[in-house]
Amino acid sequence: SCPSEIQVENWLDLDRFDDPELKKLAELLPSIIIQDRAEGTIKTYISAYRLWKRWACTHGVCPIPADGTALALYIVSLIQQRRSVSSINSAVYGIDWIHKKNGYGLPSVHSVVKQVTDAARRILAKPKSRKKPLSSTQVKSIVQRLEKGSLADLQVAAMFALGFYGFLRWDDLSRITPEHLEFAPTHLLVHLEKRKNDQFRKGTQVLIARADRAPCPVAVVEKFLGKGRHKPGISIWRRIQSTKYGQVLRSTPMTYSRASELFKKELVKEGLDAKDYGLHSLRSGGATTAAALGIPDRLLQRQGGWRAAKAKNNYITYLH
């Protein structure tokens, strides 16, 4: 359905068609035209626009079509609130998007809006503090220590294995269900229905090879699924419950914060400073290790889902 903020009919004059087939197509157009962005992006844009609309109405300003100077003043107010660069971008992109969907010109092209936006990004910018990547030695040590343990241990071992060798974000990992894992004699194929850079939702596949020597990442994941008795259709990462019969998987999915907590707990056991690492350290660590081994760039980009070499290099060039 089309959000209330978007009135496509007002500027496309869809009622002018008498042909029955054209009328049916015209009814579909409003819901089609808003699907040029991912669902999450659209929600962000609409939320950002509503904040602008509330501010504009409070100050007696018309929210749409937006006056360039008024919008610039709104951005100044966001600067004064010390909002993030991300919130500035969401505001500008969201307001632009709503205007476009309603048939208006983009307010961001106004000279003063462009200048204030550029200034906001500079004023609010924070130096990037990247987390360190994990090395293959560190990941192997953790996986080898955990793979012989309890169901809870196996779950963490599998998380390290898939994240590191598959170059996966937590967002990717959290969506994996048993049906997405295809085991073969030589490898594991992970089917990802959605991925951050997969704008058209074509789906991608990640291949993880079996290892001749322990710890084998594929064998660890296989063992975890066998011991966990996972139900189809739900995330493989679950909260663990201890019973008199042993540990079992609960119906509650594992959250990002819980996964991060378990991840850092294992790093401490390895003598590492947990604050220097995050779940993204698995993805960046796997990519860095593969690059050091001379894996071709095209294969690295395919495994990590990077559309551009520049995005891929953000993960592997800052470590030596």
CATH code of the domain covering residue 117: 1.10.150.130
Residues 228 and 237: their CA atoms lie apart, in Å, by: 10
Q: What is the mean pLDDT of the chain?
A: 89
Structural element, H or E, at residue 248: strand 246-253
Q: How far is the C-alpha of 223 from the C-alpha of 215, rounded, in Å?
A: 12
* Residue 169 domain flag: yes
Would you say residue 152 lies in a domain?
yes
Q: Are residues 185 and 301 in the same domain?
A: yes
Name the band, by pLDDT with cuts 50, 70 and 90, for residue 202: low
For residue range 230-246, what is the model confidence (pLDDT) as tens digits? 888 899 999 999 988 88
Do 185 and 270 have their domain in common? yes
Residues 59 and 194 in one domain: no
pLDDT higher than threshold 50 for residue 55: yes
Please give the pLDDT value at position 79: 96
How many whole angstroms separate alpha carbon 96 and alpha carbon 65? 10
Q: Are residues 201 and 280 in the same domain?
A: yes
Q: 3-class SS at 218?
A: helix
Say yes or no: 63 and 141 in one domain.
Answer: no
Local structure of 17: helix, strand or coil = coil
Q: Are residues 156 and 117 in the same domain?
A: no
pLDDT of 46 strictly over 50: yes
pLDDT at 310: 63
CB 207 within 8 A of CB 188: yes
- Does pLDDT of 317 surpass 90? no
For residue 301, what pLDDT band results from cuts at 50, 70 and 90?
confident
Say which amino acid occupies 227: K
Query: Would the pLDDT of 320 be above 50?
Result: no
Mean pLDDT of 206-213: 93
**306: helix, strand or coil:** coil
The answer to whether residues 245 and 188 belong to one domain is yes
Full residue range of the structural domain in which residue 282 is found: 136-314
User: Is the pLDDT at 201 greater than 60, yes or no?
Assistant: no
Report, in angstroms and rounded to the nearest whole number, the Rg of the chain calculated over CA atoms.
24
- Tokens found for residue 118: 């550029």
Q: What is the pLDDT of residue 2?
A: 62
- pTM for this predicted structure: 0.63
Say yes or no to pLDDT of 10 above 80: no
Indicate whether 146 and 199 sit together in one domain: yes
pLDDT tens string 156-178: 999 999 999 999 999 999 999 99
The count of structural domains within the chain is: 2
Mind listing the pLDDT tens digit for each residue in 114-140? 999 999 999 998 876 788 999 999 999
* String of DSSP letters for 125-184: -----PPPPPPHHHHHHHHHHHTTS-HHHHHHHHHHHHHHHTT--HHHHHT--GGGEEE-
Judge if 186 and 58 occupy the same domain. Answer: no
Please indicate, yes or no, whether residues 194 and 55 belong to a single structural domain of this protein: no
End-to-end CA distance of the chain: 50
Q: Which is it for the CA torsion 239, 159, 157, 188, positive or negative? A: positive
Cβ within 8 Å of residue 70, ≥6 positions away: 56, 59, 61, 62
Residue-wise pLDDT for 59-118, tens only, equals 999 999 999 999 999 999 999 999 999 999 999 999 999 999 999 999 999 999 999 999
252 and 284 in a single domain? The answer is yes
- Residue 302 — pLDDT band, cuts 50, 70, 90? confident
- List, in order, residues 6 or more apart from 23 with CB less than 8 Å away: 17
User: Is there a single domain that holds both residue 174 and residue 120?
Assistant: no
